[in-house]
Amino acid sequence: MSNRPKISSSVTPEMITGIVSVIFDHGGRADIARIAINLQSDVDDLLPVIDVAEALGLVKVENGDIALTNLGKEFIKARSDQKKLILRDALKQVEPFATIFKLVEEKEEFTAEDLFEEISRISGLSEEYRNPEEIHHMLLEWLLYTELVEYNGEDKTFKVKKAS
């Protein structure tokens, strides 16, 4: 079983950027309920986003407050291309992306099905990530945003980008 934090398939990179920006706008620390009120959202809807931001090391949650970490402060001040690199590095520490990076090291090209097979072998991940379509969508969101891979929609393959 993997002990790494996991990313909810419903959370996108844009949501992470948004929550980090909102916390920054509140002075770098805020009450989660206050943020929910300001965003006209339910706290329960924010929790998956907050969990992912915390798993990525961008925020820390304590006693109902959420605060930017040093990495979160670096992220908010970074240019767009630097934000992508920060997220790419952070993704290596969370599932299912830790597994993806392992797959990327082994293969130059892979499909969502390849990843799904790999995930299904890992206890604890197979239960959480059992919908191949959801995984495919999550891969598109995160891997294309961080520019780790290129995507060929015709054969639905991900190809590792060569460093230029």
* Domain final residue pick, 57, 77, 97: 77
Containing structural domain, residue 145: 80-160
pLDDT (tens digit per residue) in 46-68: 999 999 999 999 999 999 899 99
Q: What phi, psi does 12 have (nearest 5°)? A: -110, 160
Look at the alpha carbons of 22, 43, 67, 76 in this order and tell me if their dihedral is positive or negative. Answer: negative
Residue 108 placed within a domain: yes
CA 64, distance to chain mean position in Å, is 22
pLDDT (tens digit per residue) in 2-32: 455 667 778 899 999 999 999 999 999 999 9
Output the pTM of the full model: 0.82
CATH number of the domain bearing residue 41: 1.10.10.10
pLDDT (tens digit per residue) in 89-148: 898 888 778 777 777 777 778 887 777 777 777 656 655 666 667 777 787 788 888 887
Angle subtended at Cα 30 by Cα 26 and Cα 35, rounded to the nearest 5 degrees: 80
Residue 50 placed within a domain: yes
* Domain final residue pick, 30, 61, 77: 77
* Domain final residue pick, 60, 77, 94: 77
- The predicted structure's pLDDT at residue 163: 57
